[in-house]
Structure 1
Amino acid sequence: MQIESIPSWQLPAGVSPGTWDYAARPAIATEYDQYFVDHPLFALDQQLVLRHLPPADSQGAATVADLGCGTGRALVALAASGYRGLAIDLSQHMLDVVQQKTQTQNLPIVSVRANLVDLNGIADQCVDHAVSLFSTLGMIRGRQHRIAALAHTRRILKPGGRFVLHVHNIWSSLYDPSGPAWLFRSWWSSRKQTDQEFGDRVYQYRGLPNMFLHNFGLNELKADLRQAGFQVDQIFPLNQTASGVLPLRHLLPRVRAGGFVAVCHRD
Structure 2
Amino acid sequence: MSTLLSLLDTFDDLPQAKYVRERTYEGLGDTVADIGCGSGRAVGELAARGVRAIGFDLDAEMIAVAAERWSAGEFHIADATALPLGDGSVTGYRADKILHSLPEPELAVAEARRVLAAKGRAVLTGQDWDAFLVDSDDPELVRSLVHARADRVPSPRVARRYRNLLLDNGFTDVTVEIHTIVRTDASVLPLLATLSDGPWLEEQTARAEADRLFTAIPIFVVGGTRAD
TM exceeding 0.5: yes
Q: Distance in 1 between matches of 2:125 and 2:142?
A: 21
Equivalence for 1:53: 27
Given candidates 153, 163, 166, the residue that maps to 1:225 is 166
Displacement of 1:128 in angstroms is 1.0
Q: Which amino acid aligns with 1:225?
A: L
Displacement of 1:113 in angstroms is 0.7
Q: List runs of 5+ in structure 1 lacking aligned partners.
A: 1-24, 57-61, 187-198, 203-210, 243-255
Equivalence for 2:17: 42
Which of the pair is proportionally richer in strand?
2
| Aligned positions of 1:78-93 closer than 5 A | 78-93=46-61
Q: Which amino acid aligns with 1:96?
A: A
Equivalence for 1:129: 92
Displacement of 1:37 in angstroms is 5.3
Aligned sequence identity (%): 24
Quickly say closer, same or farther: Cα 1:168–1:31, change in 2 above 3 A.
closer
Quickly say closer, same or farther: Cα 1:240–1:71, change in 2 above 3 A.
closer
1:157 aligns with 2:116: yes
Quickly say closer, same or farther: Cα 1:100–1:89, change in 2 above 3 A.
same
| Aligned positions of 1:107-256 closer than 5 A | 107=72, 109-119=73-83, 121-133=84-96, 135-141=97-103, 145-169=104-128, 172-173=131-132, 177=139, 178-181=141-144, 200-202=150-152, 214-216=156-158, 218=160, 220-241=161-182
1:262 aligns with 2:222: yes
How many pairs are equivalent?
A: 191
SS at match of 2:68: helix
Q: Given the two structures, how large is their TM-score scaled by the length of structure 2? A: 0.70
Q: Given the two structures, how large is their TM-score scaled by the length of structure 1? A: 0.61
SS at match of 1:166: strand
Q: List runs of 5+ in structure 2 lacking aligned partners.
A: 184-215
Displacement of 1:81 in angstroms is 1.3
